[in-house]
Structure 1
Amino acid sequence: MAEKEIALLKKQQEKLTEKSFDLEAWKNQTTLFLQRIFGADHNIVKMIADLKYDYSSWTLRDATGNEKTDDPVKMQADEILEAAIMELENLGLPQQESSAEKAWELMEEELTGKQFKEIKAIIDSGKKNKLAKVQEVLNRLEKENLISILSRILIS
């Protein structure tokens, strides 16, 4: 299971109650941890990044007249972290796609079916000169295709 990750997120929950709490510093640190655990595109990461205090006149008026002791931003942050912990406890760590798998997926999107099958067959074969044969196939591709493949691999 994900004991280390859960312990890390619980520490972040504890930091919400510290007297010298700084939302932006806490968000930066928490976002780094969550990106490593769930990936940069996960909704939990985005929800933490979107946390902010609302200083509009309506919010300020409500806060002064209502005497709320609970900080709504801290409460929301705590609930988001609690959801992340529950996800880890019940579902475990998300499966991270390897770099090689991602590269193959991107290549499959950019190449024609025939080109992709040809490269895959060369890689899967037991022959010694795989590199030269793959380079030969890639050399036949148009420059735009190669640029697109390389840029998508780098961005991912």
Structure 2
Amino acid sequence: MKKYDMAEKEIALLNKQVEKLADNSFDLEAWKKQTLLFLTRIFGPDHPVVKMISDLKYDYSSWHLRDATGNEKTDDPVKMQAREILDAAVLELETLGIPGKTEHTSAIWDILEDELTGKQIKELKEIMSENISDRAQKISEKLNALNKENLINILSRIMIS
């Protein structure tokens, strides 16, 4: 398995949201709604990154406006904060993979280890670790060599879990 467990699409999606922060026609509320849809789907509604993006807002208090109009701050603090949050989300995906997917994958491997021989497990793990285009075909060939009873047991246990 890859280190970040096939989270490439999710990472690319979040990187596109980071790029949108630099748009001249940036609208925080529209950006937040779109980003929250993506983050909720990736991490779930209760993940802290979802709440942090949801809480982003411009502070129009007099002190904040005075600080924002000074020369010391050239970058938009809300955009900077949004970028940091999304960078952390991307780092989490790269390091830990997609939340929930790891447990599911682990459960499937547990089932396979119960039903297959050590040699068969080793061969499947080798195929999974290779970065080849015909990986699905190679896995199908390995599973095709199993007897029908093993396949039925594996599939029924995966469906139940």
Query: Residue by residue, what CA displacement relative to the aligned partner does 1:21-45 show, whole Å, maximum 9, x if unpaired?
Result: 0000000000000000000000000
User: Are 1:37 and 2:42 an aligned pair?
Assistant: yes
2:14 corresponding residue in structure 1: 9
1:71 corresponding residue in structure 2: 76
CA separation in 1, counterparts of 2:11 and 2:70? 38
CA separation in 1, counterparts of 2:73 and 2:9? 35
CA separation in 2, counterparts of 1:49 and 1:80? 11
1:24 corresponding residue in structure 2: 29
- Number of aligned residues: 98
2:65 to 33, 51, 60: 60
Gaps of 5+ in 2: 1-5, 105-161
SS of match in other structure, 2:53: helix
Bigger relative contact order (CA 8 A; separation at least 6) = 2
Query: Residue by residue, what CA displacement relative to the aligned partner does 1:50-95 show, whole Å, maximum 9, x if unpaired?
Result: 0000000001111223352200000000000000000000000011
Q: Compute the TM-score of the two structures, normalised by the length of structure 1.
A: 0.60
Task: Report the structure number with the largest CA radius of gyration.
Answer: 1
SS of match in other structure, 1:54: coil
Gaps of 5+ in 1: 99-156
Q: What is the Cα-based RMSD across aligned positions, in Å?
A: 1.6
Query: Residue by residue, what CA displacement relative to the aligned partner does 1:93-134 show, whole Å, maximum 9, x if unpaired?
Result: 011699xxxxxxxxxxxxxxxxxxxxxxxxxxxxxxxxxxxx
